[in-house]
Structure 1
Amino acid sequence: MAGPLPRLYRIVIVVAMLLICSAAGAWLGASPSLPFLIGTGMLGGALVGVVASYALLHQPRH
Structure 2
Amino acid sequence: MKDIAEKLNISVNAVSIALNDKVGVSEETRNLVVNLLHPIEDEASYFIDRCLLLFTAGLTQSP
TM tier, smaller: 0.3 to 0.5
Larger Rg belongs to: 2
Q: Which has the higher contact order (CA 8 A, sep 6+)?
A: 1
Higher helix share goes to which structure? Answer: 2
